Amino acid sequence: MQTRTPVPLSTRLLSVLVASFLPLVASADTSADASEGKSGDTLVVAFEKPLTTVDRLYSIQREGLILSRLTDDGLFYVNPDTLEFEPLAAESYRWVNSTQLEVTVRDDVVFHDGSPMTADDVVYTFEWVLDEDSDTSRGAVIQSWLESVEKVGNRTVRFNLHLPYPMALRDMAISIPVRKKGTYDGAEGMDNAAEDRPLNGIGPYRIKEFSAGREIVVERFEDYYQASPKANPAIETMVFRVIPDQGTQQAELLSGGIDMMMGVPPDVADNISHLPGVVRREGNDIRIGYITLDAAGHSNPDSPFTKLKVRQAINHAINREEITRYLVRGSAEVVPYACHPRQFGCNSDGPTYPYNPEKAKQLLEEAGYPDGFSFKLWAYREKIIAEAVVSDLKAIGLDVDLRFVKLNVFAKVRNDKDMEAFFASYGSGGTADASASTGVHFAANSARNYTDDKELAETVLAAERTIDPDERKRLYNKALTRIAEQAYWVPMFSYSQNYLLSPGLEFEVPKDGVPRFWQASWSDK
Amino acid sequence: MLNYVMKRGLMALLVALTVSFGTFALFHFATDPAQTIAGEDAPQEMVDDIREQYGFDRPVSVQYLDWLGSTLQGDFGQSYFWKQPVVDLIQEHAKVTVLLALAGLSVTILIALPLGISAALKPNSWVDRFALSTAVSAQAIPNFWLGLMLIILFAVMFPIFPVSGDATWKHYVLPAFVLGASSVPAVMRLTRTGLLDVLSSDYIRTAKAKGFMGYRLILQQAMRNALLPIVSVLAVQLGHKLGGSVVTESVFSMNGLGRLAVESIFNSDIPTVQSLILIFVLTFVLLTLAADLINAWLDPRIRMG
């Protein structure tokens, strides 16, 4: 089977055009132009979506997370190799008990304005996030587990939690950069967060220019603390240009306007990477694709999906191996359970459902649907994969109507619990912990929970509120086994990422889908 | 004339209000703005917090009246996505779109009028056939395809112009050509047909008898009447360019109103979308009105009723 991943028409067209113009492009020696100046100290990266603010506390965007890892440090960070949470601006930490965390901050960290970071700054930052009027982007999440924060020593801060919450380090690493005391004084929330105001972070780069929707320029911060694993980045200046159209990004890459494209569809990567002046890198992503089945009968109490055998039949009917190999491609793998195999706790003793259309038909017959039934499958991304799923389901006699819509429409119908089945994906915010996936999809209060399985929800909640790693693993195993046994989901595949780079750019593909640009460098070759 | 202008203005307002309510209702019934603002992977707590923070949990009618009340007082609200006053956003993006639209219109005029006039002066000649073929080709080529071709030719293979952005005048050349080319067929054909009609009329025959020849005959006598429908079409085309340069702005990554509209729709940025729709509708109506007034000035018979 030879198939192609869906890409916008303009992107596909440009790829074909560029490929067909290859000899001319080569003769025009654009490769020389493209690599011109690349030995310099600047990296230009294309962002597909605009960034509305450079302040991570007020950004929910993926681009904000990427930029924040350059301009900000949190108390902790995600180790790029192990994906574990380790101290960064913190020197050390200890759990006093299951609801008290003490963190000692480093004494050699300075803000971009030259002032030293202190425990008072850390207390100020978290108190600001806890303040409901501050309207920070992750405030609601932090407020759900953090009760208060206090200074207990010159360099020591104590976090008092409402409840045991093992993902506290994750939230501190990903969502809460340290801010200087008084940063937001006088501000009632950050209604004008996109205003051009200097960001006083403690990261290895500082903001030089910010033009919302156009570009962001950062420059290396020379007084960055040497003890950091992010210290001494090779590239002096980085420019992030907002270019929404991927076809235009390709043209910019070929003409030397940018040095890197992210999130390139496999087809486009195939075509463009053969051109001179372009290097392809691919690797894993922590994002997974899955199908949710309305086991609770929210969309229709008489839905066939309320029957276990029907859900099992759907699991057996979809050829996930072939879809993964030929449509998702790259480093993608079939995922057996409702999480990414790289996530902590993503292990189960539950059943898996190998592709077996005959067994699927038999299960449908046993469930009382020998002639199949009709239903709508909703999707908002990777249309071709959704179509492959529909094709597999039609092969076992189901009449499937594919409803392919934009995300904002999809989210409305899904959150109203009006879908019988939907194909979606989840990136876990780059978090290598099963809680990120199970918490969002199987917790009692989640609009994405189509199971109404109280026992499962309680298990997931218990795992989220346990500090002990072994106990967490046991609870996640129990939850994931329950999900697999009940066939609530059809876990599909992990995604693969493609990057296109200018020659000479050294860049390691991240394991969790979040690029670390401080690791990039230009080779002398 | 004053009555006429007021009547048209009132109609514009009614159209704008109807469209804005329709858009508002559609957004609320067909999408979940809170989820969209929170992002694809946002946890439930965040979505719930945004729903409460932005007042999406209130009845739609209350939200609409709230928006309408503010708008009528000149307050277009705060963008949910950009976290800026919508007025500031629109002002910033309008500069790019107005420049691009005017440049595009200039391209249309500079290509379509000479072609149309030449074709009308020598009907069925090779000039005429060339003009008509150009029009057919321009009509058949989609905007985004032409844009990509120009990018490959003049930005990648022969890097004369930048690929994307809107920082300098050079950034406007390719997109203006793309935007302008799309209107060439309509304007060229209208020019040719209008001029052919006028050239066969009695008053031109009289003018010729009085010694008007060459460009003086065309520009001073014939074009004045032939221009009437062209002015109307150009006004509508300018409206299209101001409100509908979405594809061109996206292909060339220009930060204009078209791209702002697309991003706002995908991000469920309701205040921005509402305001843009209001502006687009009013722009169309005002441009049509302006065209009518210019026609009335060009042709005294219109003024006489």
**Above 90 in pLDDT, residue B296?**
no
State the Cα–Cα distance between residues B46 and B30, nearest whole angstrom: 20
pLDDT band at A190 (very low <50, low <70, confident <90, very high): low
The minimum CA-CA distance between B64 and chain A, rounded to whole Å, is 19
In this prediction, residue B244 carries a pLDDT of 62
**Is residue A115 within 8 Å of residue A172, measured between CB atoms?**
no
**Above 70 in pLDDT, residue A20?**
no
Going by C-alpha positions, the residue among A143, A242, A52 that lies closest to residue B46 is A143
In this prediction, residue A21 carries a pLDDT of 52
In terms of C-beta density within 10 A (0-12 exposed, 13-18 middle, 19 or more buried), how is residue B297 classed?
Answer: exposed
In this prediction, residue A28 carries a pLDDT of 44
State the Cα–Cα distance between residues A311 and A314, nearest whole angstrom: 5
Tell me the range of A17-31, A425-439, A480-494 where mean pLDDT is highest.
Answer: A480-494
State the Cα–Cα distance between residues A61 and B125, nearest whole angstrom: 59
Q: What is the pTM of this model?
A: 0.84
**Above 60 in pLDDT, residue B282?**
yes
The minimum CA-CA distance between A390 and chain B, rounded to whole Å, is 23
Give A 288-317 residues with CB within 8 A of chain B: none
pLDDT band at A26 (very low <50, low <70, confident <90, very high): very low
| Predicted confidence (pLDDT) per residue in A306-340, tens digit | 999 999 999 999 999 999 999 998 889 999 999 99
In this prediction, residue A2 carries a pLDDT of 37
Test A251 with B148 for CB contact under 8 angstroms: yes
| Predicted confidence (pLDDT) per residue in B255-275, tens digit | 999 889 888 888 888 889 988
**Above 60 in pLDDT, residue A30?**
no
Mean pLDDT of B167-172: 92
> If DSSP codes are grouped into helix, strand and coil, which group holds residue A505?
strand
Pick the range with the lowest mean pLDDT from A123-127, A205-209, B37-41, B129-133: B37-41
In this prediction, residue A225 carries a pLDDT of 97
pLDDT band at A525 (very low <50, low <70, confident <90, very high): low
Q: Is B42 on the interface with A (CB under 8 A)?
A: yes
Mean pLDDT of B160-170: 91
| Predicted confidence (pLDDT) per residue in B38-80, tens digit | 887 888 888 888 888 888 888 888 988 888 888 888 888 889 8
> If DSSP codes are grouped into helix, strand and coil, which group holds residue B208?
helix
- A525 vs B214, which has greater pLDDT? B214
pLDDT band at A126 (very low <50, low <70, confident <90, very high): very high
State the Cα–Cα distance between residues B224 and B204, nearest whole angstrom: 12
**Above 70 in pLDDT, residue B291?**
yes
State the Cα–Cα distance between residues B127 and B113, nearest whole angstrom: 13
pLDDT band at A417 (very low <50, low <70, confident <90, very high): very high
Q: Is B250 on the interface with A (CB under 8 A)?
A: yes
The minimum CA-CA distance between B21 and chain A, rounded to whole Å, is 18
State the Cα–Cα distance between residues A486 and B291, nearest whole angstrom: 67
C-alpha dihedral (B123, B124, B125, B126), degrees to nearest 10 = 120
pLDDT band at A6 (very low <50, low <70, confident <90, very high): very low
State the Cα–Cα distance between residues A473 and A462, nearest whole angstrom: 11
Backbone dihedral angles phi then psi of residue A375, each to the nearest 5 degrees: -160, 170
Considering only CB atoms, B145 lies closest to which of A13, A195, A447, namely A13
State the Cα–Cα distance between residues B168 and A56, nearest whole angstrom: 31
**Above 50 in pLDDT, residue A32?**
no
**Mean pLDDT of all residues belonging to chain B:** 84
pLDDT band at A29 (very low <50, low <70, confident <90, very high): very low
State the Cα–Cα distance between residues B169 and A302, nearest whole angstrom: 63
**Above 80 in pLDDT, residue A12?**
no
In this prediction, residue A193 carries a pLDDT of 47
- B304 vs B135, which has greater pLDDT? B135
Mean pLDDT of A283-301: 94
Taking phi over 0 as left and psi of -120 to 50 as alpha, with beta for the rest, A428 belongs to left
pLDDT band at A253 (very low <50, low <70, confident <90, very high): very high
**Above 80 in pLDDT, residue A281?**
yes
The minimum CA-CA distance between B44 and chain A, rounded to whole Å, is 6
| Predicted confidence (pLDDT) per residue in A232-249, tens digit | 999 999 999 999 888 899
- A453 vs A39, which has greater pLDDT? A453
**Above 50 in pLDDT, residue B109?**
yes
Question: Distances from the Cα of A200 to the Cαs of A75, A113, A184, A229, B23, in angstroms?
Answer: 16, 6, 11, 20, 40
Considering only CB atoms, A408 lies closest to which of B31, B44, B251, namely B31
Sign of CA dihedral A131, A133, A134, A140: positive
Give the percent of chain B with pLDDT over 70. Answer: 96
pLDDT band at A191 (very low <50, low <70, confident <90, very high): low
Q: Which of A408, A409, A428, A435 to mutate to test the interface with B (most CBs of B within 10 A)?
A: A408
Residue with tokens 């030879």: A2
| Predicted confidence (pLDDT) per residue in A40-51, tens digit | 599 999 999 888
**Above 60 in pLDDT, residue A209?**
yes
| Predicted confidence (pLDDT) per residue in A369-381, tens digit | 999 999 999 999 9
Q: Return the HEC string of A354-410.
A: CCCHHHHHHHHHHCCCCCCCEEEEEECCCHHHHHHHHHHHHHCCCEEEEEECCHHHH
Mean pLDDT of A447-469: 94
Mean pLDDT of A37-61: 84
Chain B residues near residue A244 by CB distance under 8 angstroms = 250, 253, 259, 263
Mean pLDDT of A358-368: 97
Chain A residues near residue B81 by CB distance under 8 angstroms = 52
Rounded to a whole number, what is the largest CA-CA distance in chain A?
A: 73
| Predicted confidence (pLDDT) per residue in A93-105, tens digit | 999 999 999 999 9
In this prediction, residue B33 carries a pLDDT of 85
**For chain A, percent helix, then strand, then coil, each to nearest 5?**
35, 20, 45
Mean pLDDT of A175-195: 74
**Above 80 in pLDDT, residue A292?**
yes
- ipTM of the complex model: 0.79
In this prediction, residue A130 carries a pLDDT of 96
In terms of C-beta density within 10 A (0-12 exposed, 13-18 middle, 19 or more buried), how is residue B262 classed?
Answer: middle
**Above 80 in pLDDT, residue B196?**
yes
The minimum CA-CA distance between A91 and chain B, rounded to whole Å, is 30
**Mean pLDDT of all residues belonging to chain A:** 89
In this prediction, residue A341 carries a pLDDT of 94
Q: Is B32 on the interface with A (CB under 8 A)?
A: yes
- Chain A residue closest to B89 (CA)? A212
Test A25 with B37 for CB contact under 8 angstroms: no
